[in-house]
């Protein structure tokens, strides 16, 4: 028997039912069904005596006999009433539907197990529509104590696939395949952690004998799930280091040194120096660099990226930066061009709005090697874009790119270019270990000197007049203000201020000619958007009314105030990114979070977190707890953590233990060739065959 057989091999699962289970829950094989775990359990470990029942009891389980059945007429139809007795007393069981079938099927004076919600009326107890099972059948079942409750859908319920039926499918599956369930951890790991066997764990995860058995089963299965993820990530990292050769940057040359000594606008922080050292070591080693660079908003990741690109150019290679939006690509292009001005380096930008003639020039410069640095959006992935010798690719805000897109960039060279992935959304340690366990991780954890922390406050809509006065005071000092809205047009479904309405009210409060206002949103043409952006950048407008298109990529040191309307509508990472648009100059900057009085508990937590800390890593930890890993990583990455039973937030201790175990194992037995590790190797090979997430790049 093989657990990879289609789900129809399970007794009771017809072709029609299999089709529904597949479309509704993604259950296609017997193994899928076996790993479809309950999300809660109904505790049936206690049997009550009738004379001990309390009026406030909710659901009870009793063993007794039906001594009498009566149909009692009522205004509409009738009800079936059974007198149910145990050794201590009697009560009633009541049914309003299915009476004929029940009358024919219920056996008087036979022992039954009864379970249901208790009613107390006029001093006597009854259970309407109880679950009933002959005591002889109850004793034969696996699910005798804690009964599993599985996630379901309306379509499944309507098709008659109830929770009880799901439990029956899994019980039959366990009975059919129990001997076919293979152990996939080594004896040493089982003994070290005092784990149950795989068979016992699966049995007790679905039909636990007790709460203690359930806890042990879940710990074993969570460890196993996280252990194999870590094993795959760490093995991939090993292969990248040993088998995938990278281009070698042998020297730190004239271009790098000239920039470092004469062009750097400020001294590097210790964190930047440390990260640069890690990058230099990687690119000189002959192995392929695959490094994640985490740094908070404004920590100076771009300077590190430029220095890494100059290393490539010094060694005769080209470099590229890929950004998720035109605004961010333009921002990088301007920053890089200004910093390397006068160095005889050719820098170009390629986005969707670049004209055909200019595109041809860029393609030619790439192919003959005269173009040193290309910055762009997804346009870089087009087949026509061919480098002569790409040495390093910098990917910014990497969670916005899908795996296939990144792999396409990787394939543009005979030898893969070194990869430096940058993110300004700090990733909590547990999530980084799970999703990026195959990357080397560098962290810039300090801000450049002279940067002042942005003061953040939360204000309700009723405080709007005082906020307007504060804006006027700041503008009078020569500062500029961002005003960000969550929506472009009014939405009937959501009672939030929209951008256009906001623009009109701000225009009334800040009239021409004393004040100039820019407006930017996603529906504008790129040229119009750029025009408005430039007016604000050059100080021609004092207020920028915008949607989240300014979340990344706008650098205006003179802007000192960020006002976020309907801030309860934004996620934590978005709020943090938006706040990062101010605080870029020498002046004290402010972030004002506007909201209505109606706030959900999660929204309160988000706003409180923003007011209390500017530490991106602390914010990311709170975000992970609130939203879960799938949402934080975005849709492109959601499949990476398709966990069946483990949770990287709640099970962080198990995750650390699983990673440490995988590291020790690979240090002792890199190829898993030791006979004691054969169960692990077999399971590992099976998983890597079916897994879609292990790409060759980040």
List C-alpha distances in Å: 208 to 48, 173, 184, 485, 512.
Answer: 20, 16, 21, 50, 72
Task: Give residue 215's pLDDT.
Answer: 92
Q: Whole-angstrom Cα distance, residue 554 to residue 349?
A: 17
Per-domain residue ranges for the chain? 46-144, 254-444, 455-613
Task: Give residue 639's pLDDT.
Answer: 44
Task: Give residue 1's pLDDT.
Answer: 67
CATH of domain 455-613: 3.40.50.300
CATH of domain 254-444: 3.40.50.300
Task: Give residue 290's pLDDT.
Answer: 85
Rounded (5°) CA angle 565-567-573: 130
Where are the alpha helices (H) located in 580-651, listed in sequence order?
Answer: 601-612, 616-627, 629-633
In CATH terms, are 254-444 and 455-613 the same topology? yes
Quick one: DSSP state of residue 260?
Answer: I
- Encode burial over 143-175: b for 16+ CB neighbours within 10 A, e otherwise: bebbbbebeeeeebeebebebebbbbbbbebbe
Where are the alpha helices (H) located in 326-394, listed in sequence order?
Answer: 326-339, 356-368
Average pLDDT along the chain, 698 residues, taken 10 residues at a time = 88 94 94 93 84 80 93 86 94 89 90 91 88 86 76 91 92 92 94 96 92 92 93 83 83 93 88 95 89 82 94 95 86 90 93 90 94 92 89 78 62 80 76 73 80 91 94 95 79 58 90 91 82 90 86 75 93 87 86 94 94 86 75 46 79 89 93 93 83 44
- Helix or strand run (H / E) with residue 440: strand 440-444
Task: Give residue 641's pLDDT.
Answer: 60
Backbone angles phi, psi at 609, to 5 degrees: -60, -45
Contact 309, 385 (CB under 8 A): no
List C-alpha distances in Å: 263 to 112, 273, 412, 680.
Answer: 86, 16, 31, 53
Task: Give residue 638's pLDDT.
Answer: 40
User: Residue 80 in 3-state DSSP?
Assistant: strand
* Among 257, 237, 170, 181, CA closest to 207: 170
**pTM of the prediction?**
0.67
Helix, strand, coil percentages for the chain (3-state, nearest 5): 45, 20, 35
Question: Is the peptide bond between 409 and the residue preceding it cis, with omega within 30 degrees of 0?
Answer: no
369-398 pLDDT tens trace: 999 999 998 888 888 889 999 999 998 875
Overall CATH class of domain 46-144 = mainly beta
Backbone angles phi, psi at 565, to 5 degrees: -75, 150
Total Cβ atoms within 10 A of residue 557: 14
């Amino acid at each position: 028997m093989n657990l990879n057989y289609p789900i129809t091999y399970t007794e009771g699962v017809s072709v029609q039912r299999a089709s529904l289970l597949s479309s509704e829950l993604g259950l296609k094989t017997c193994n899928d069904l076996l790993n479809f775990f309950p999300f809660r359990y109904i505790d049936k470990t206690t049997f009550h005596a009738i004379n001990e029942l309390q009026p406030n009891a909710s659901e009870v389980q009793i063993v007794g006999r039906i001594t009498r059945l009566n149909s009692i007429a009522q205004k509409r139809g009738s009800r079936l009433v059974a007198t149910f007795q145990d050794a201590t007393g009697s009560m009633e069981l009541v049914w309003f539907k299915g009476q004929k079938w029940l009358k024919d099927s219920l056996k008087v004076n036979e022992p039954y197990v009864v379970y249901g919600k208790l009613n107390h009326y006029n001093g006597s107890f009854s259970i309407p529509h109880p679950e009933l099972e002959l005591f002889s059948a109850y004793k034969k079942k696996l699910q005798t104590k804690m009964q599993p409750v599985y996630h379901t859908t309306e379509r499944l319920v309507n098709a008659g696939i109830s929770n009880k039926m799901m439990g029956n499918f899994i019980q039959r599956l366990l009975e059919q395949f129990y001997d076919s369930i293979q152990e996939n951890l080594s004896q040493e790991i089982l003994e070290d952690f005092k784990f149950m066997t795989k068979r016992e764990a699966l049995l007790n995860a679905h039909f636990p004998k007790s709460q203690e058995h359930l806890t042990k089963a879940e710990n074993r299965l969570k460890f196993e799930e996280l252990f194999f993820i870590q094993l795959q990530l760490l093995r991939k990292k090993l292969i990248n280091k040993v088998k995938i050769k990278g281009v070698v940057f042998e020297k730190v040359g004239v271009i790098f040194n000239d920039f470092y000594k004469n062009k750097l606008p400020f001294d590097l922080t210790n964190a930047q120096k440390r990260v640069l050292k890690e990058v230099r070591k990687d690119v000189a080693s002959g192995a392929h660099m695959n490094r994640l660079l985490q740094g908070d908003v404004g920590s100076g990741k771009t300077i590190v990226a430029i220095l890494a690109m100059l290393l490539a150019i010094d060694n005769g290679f080209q470099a590229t930066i890929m950004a998720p939006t035109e605004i961010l690509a333009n921002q990088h292009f301007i920053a890089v061009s200004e910093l390397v001005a006068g160095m005889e380096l050719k820098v170009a930008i390629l986005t969707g709005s670049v004209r055909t003639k200019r595109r041809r020039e860029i393609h030619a410069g790439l192919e003959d090697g005269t173009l040193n640095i290309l910055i762009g959006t997804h346009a870089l992935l087009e087949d026509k874009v061919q480098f002569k010798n790409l040495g390093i690719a910098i990917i910014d805000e990497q969670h916005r790119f899908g795996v296939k897109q990144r792999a396409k960039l990787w394939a543009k060279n005979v030898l893969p270019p070194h990869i430096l992935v940058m993110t300004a959304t700090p990733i909590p340690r547990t999530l980084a270990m799970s999703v990026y366990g195959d990357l080397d991780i560098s962290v810039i954890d300090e801000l450049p000197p002279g940067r002042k922390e942005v003061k953040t406050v939360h204000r309700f809509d009723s405080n709007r007049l005082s906020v307007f006065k504060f804006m006027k005071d700041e503008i009078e000092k020569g500062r500029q203000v961002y005003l960000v809205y969550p929506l472009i047009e009014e939405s009937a479904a959501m009672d939030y201020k929209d951008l256009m309405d906001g623009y009109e009210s701000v225009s009334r409060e800040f009239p021409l000619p004393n004040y100039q206002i820019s407006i930017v949103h996603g529906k504008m043409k790129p040229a119009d958007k750029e025009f408005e952006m430039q007016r604000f950048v050059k100080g021609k407008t004092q207020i920028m009314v915008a949607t989240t298109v300014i979340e990344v990529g706008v650098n205006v040191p003179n802007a000192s105030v960020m006002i976020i309307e309907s801030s309860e509508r934004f996620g934590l990472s978005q709020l943090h990114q938006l706040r990062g648009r101010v605080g870029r100059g020498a002046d004290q900057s402010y972030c004002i979070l506007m909201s209505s009085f109606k706030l959900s508990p999660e929204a309160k937590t988000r706003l409180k977190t923003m007011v209390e800390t500017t530490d991106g890593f602390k914010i990311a930890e709170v975000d992970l707890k609130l939203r879960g890993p799938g949402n934080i990583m975005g849709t492109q990455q959601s499949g990476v953590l398709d966990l069946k039973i483990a949770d990287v937030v709640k099970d962080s201790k198990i995750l650390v233990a699983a990673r440490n175990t995988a590291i020790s194992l690979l240090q002792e037995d890199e190829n898993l060739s030791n006979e004691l590790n054969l169960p692990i190797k077999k399971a590992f090979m099976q998983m890597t065959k079916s897994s879609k997430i292990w790409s060759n790049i980040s």
